[in-house]
Amino acid sequence: MAAHRREPRTASPAPTGPAQTRAAQTRATPTSAAQTGATPTGATPTGATPSRSGGADRDRRPTREELAAAADRTIPDVIAPGLTVLFVGINPGLWSAATGRHFARPGNRFWPALHRGGFTPHRLHPSEQDTLPGYGLGITNMVDRASARADELTAAELVEGAEVLADKVRRHRPAWVAVVGVTAYRIGFGRPKAAFGPQPELLGDARLWVLPNPSGLNAHFTAETLGAAFGELRAATAGPA
């Protein structure tokens, strides 16, 4: 069992399939939170303050046996119609699969970066993931099956996952789709030169953005620079369409 999550190897082949985004599409104006009735990102959901307790087992660590048994499991998306941003992880790690919580492993910096970037008024615990739609946010994955390392995934799995993601976006119509991991994006969408930040094409009617992988293994980004990268997306979602 690996201690951290790595992105798929860049040497993997990058097949191009129907999952590629349509660069020739006319850029559509994304659905705003005001149009959908969703709470603007960064604001506390109306009528409720997210719980910080997360239950008695909030900080319980899965056993080695539980982690081993979690391989190939799936976990539910956190999703709703008309979100401002749908975050897309690579695939669940064993810790996430064992707990049912996205980005759950201690040391993963997704939740701190979400707060530092201005999407949430305080740092959420993974056990609070179901409060995200109240902030106009959601989480899904490129590939559903859990693995100890993201680089165990094949290029074919990532391409197929991009197809599934495209269908999910058409059904739920988020304004923005943020893929958390540039290598997975390059392989899955057949964009070998894609860089971090906004992408020139759309996925359905949603604008695309690529964020750094928040894994603790990603030494190229500190907590501060990850927060800044998330903050750039946050600023874009708040700006003019």
Kindly state the percentage of the chain with pLDDT values over 70.
Answer: 76
Residue 47 has a pLDDT of: 35
- Domain-located, residue 16: no
Is residue 13 assigned to a domain?
Answer: no
pLDDT at residue 188, as a whole number: 98
In a domain, 37, yes or no: no
Q: Is the confidence at residue 101, as pLDDT, over 50?
A: yes
- Return the C-alpha torsion angle 156, 96, 129, 195, nearest 10: -40
In a domain, 80, yes or no: yes
pLDDT above 80: residue 123: yes
Identity at 214, one-letter amino acid code: P
Asked if residues 85 and 137 have their Cβ atoms less than 8 Å apart, the reply is yes
What CATH number is given to the structural domain containing 86? 3.40.470.10
CA dihedral over 5, 154, 130, 118, signed as positive or negative? positive
How many domains, in total, are found in the chain?
1
pLDDT of residue 80: 98
**Per-residue pLDDT tens over the stretch 29-88:** 333 343 344 445 555 443 333 333 445 578 889 999 999 999 999 999 999 999 999 999
Give the length of the chain: 241
Provide the domain limits for residue 228: 65-238
Strands across the sheet with 176-180, in order? 137-141, 85-89, 176-180, 206-211, 197-203
Q: List CB contacts of 14: < 8 A, sequence separation 6 or more.
A: 155, 186, 187, 190, 192
**Is 133 a domain residue?**
yes
DSSP, residue by residue, 158-182:
HHHHHHHHHHHHHHH--SEEEEE-H
**Which pLDDT belongs to residue 40?**
52
Chain segment 147-177, per-residue pLDDT in tens:
999 889 999 999 999 999 999 999 999 999 9
**For residue 58, is it within any domain?**
no
Look at residue 39 and tell me if it is in a domain: no
